[in-house]
Amino acid sequence: NIFMLEKKKTELYQELGLQARDLRFQHLMSIATRNNRIIMRMEFLKAVITPEFLLILDYRNLNMEHWLFHELASQLAGEGQLVTYSLPFEFRAIEAILQYRISKLQGRLNTLQPQILETLEALVDPKLLSVDRSKLHILLQNGKSLSELETDLKVFKETILEILDEEELIEELCLSKWTDPQVFEESTSGIDHAEEMELLLENYYRQAEDLANEARELRVLIDDSESIIFINLDSHRNVMMRLNLQLTMGTFSLSLFGLIGVAFGMNLESSLEEDPRIFWLVTGIMFLGSGLIWRRLLSFLGRHLEPPLPPHVPAVLKKSQPATARAEIKNNLKAEALGLSRSTLTNQ
């Protein structure tokens, strides 16, 4: 039976036998027991579990109506896929809340993963000379969301791991074992509720670990893609710098041999200006000399910009030589041993 009720905080504390600090609305994750009550905080989801009922505190701001009225009832009744056989009520309540939390984290990851992959596919393209700023903005937002998801998964795992490391905490979570004598007899006869609770928590710890691994792979993919983007930008930047340097060298070559034209352009009389062939001769020398100097500078630039060849590693040869030497020594020793044995037989 699922229903809603409103009570004052003081009345609720008295009925549950808890203190005001136990039900304080803190946006963190914790699983604790107090006065035979299990208090679960899953950030915005806060619940109190007893052997008889599950109390969800102030769910109206969390958009949980579909889960409460369509999924939770079957899970608590033991009719859903989460429960395979009959267990006390607190097991089904804890599993329902953990499953709800894991499904929310899984949904966030399923939403982020295609967006991140699509954005990275659009950014990591060697044909693009520039990076789309809108795509970078989307990637930045998705990266922040992924960081928040990783933090939530880490907190979820740490909370469950703290309980798994303490056997007393696991025992305290089995409420019906200490309140109902029949349940205690069943547990002593064959079903250990502490082991069942440990298996339940380990199951969701593994699921959170799988989600954390997927989120970590996405983070590594983002980092690798950023490195590729930076490499592509550096490559295009180097091309532009090389082109700028070549143009600068060409301008220098023309300016250097342009001094000849400057010298002839001075208002000084000489016998060379009377010959009509001198103009074409000087112009040809200027262009030829500029081209030769430009090519010389390009070859000098190419020699200094090419990556050096990897050095030879003679250590492999040095290591192989002692091996062959040892093989020859072994063969010689074998031959000597055979010779000694033959000589001994002959002497006998």
Q: Is the dihedral of CA 64, 67, 69, 72 positive or negative?
A: negative
Q: pLDDT tens digit string along 23-36? A: 776 667 888 888 88
CA 213/CA 52 separation, integer angstroms: 37
pLDDT (average), residues 12-40: 80
CATH top class, domain 72-237: mainly alpha
CA 236/CA 130 separation, integer angstroms: 9
The pLDDT of residue 98: 92
- Classify 95 as helix, strand or coil: helix
By the 10 Å C-beta count (0-12 exposed, 13-18 middle, 19+ buried), 106 is classed as: middle
Q: CB of 16 within 8 A of CB of 37? A: yes
- 265 vs 335, higher pLDDT: 265
Percent of the chain residues past pLDDT 90, beyond the cut: 14
Percent of the chain residues past pLDDT 70, beyond the cut: 70
The pLDDT of residue 122: 80
Residue 111 has pLDDT above 90, yes or no: yes
The pLDDT of residue 34: 83
Residue 322 has pLDDT above 50, yes or no: no
Residue 92 has pLDDT above 90, yes or no: no
Residue 316 has pLDDT above 80, yes or no: no
- Render the burial of 278-313: b for 16+ CB within 10 Å, e for the rest: eeeebeeebeeebeebbeebeeeeeeeeeeeeeeee
CA 300/CA 146 separation, integer angstroms: 49
Least confident span in 53-67, 133-147, 199-213: 53-67
- Classify 203 as helix, strand or coil: helix
Least confident span in 113-127, 190-204, 319-333: 319-333
Residue 195 has pLDDT above 70, yes or no: yes
**What is the β-pairing status of strands 54-56 and 45-49?**
antiparallel
Average pLDDT, the chain: 75
Q: CB of 83 within 8 A of CB of 69? A: no
Residue 269 has pLDDT above 90, yes or no: no
The pLDDT of residue 303: 62
Q: Which helix or strand (DSSP H or E) is residue 56 part of?
A: strand 54-56
Q: CB of 228 within 8 A of CB of 156? A: no
pLDDT (average), residues 2-11: 82
Strands (E), 252-334: none
Residue 239 pLDDT class (50, 70, 90 cuts): confident
Q: Tokens 């025992």 sit at which residue?
A: 171
The pLDDT of residue 148: 92
- Render the burial of 165-183: b for 16+ CB within 10 Å, e for the rest: eeeebbebbbbbbeeeeeb
- 272 vs 309, higher pLDDT: 272
- 312 vs 181, higher pLDDT: 181
Q: Tokens 């072994």 sit at which residue?
A: 330
The pLDDT of residue 215: 93
Give, in order, the Cα–Cα distances in Å from 263 to each of 11, 140, 205, 293. 106, 61, 86, 20
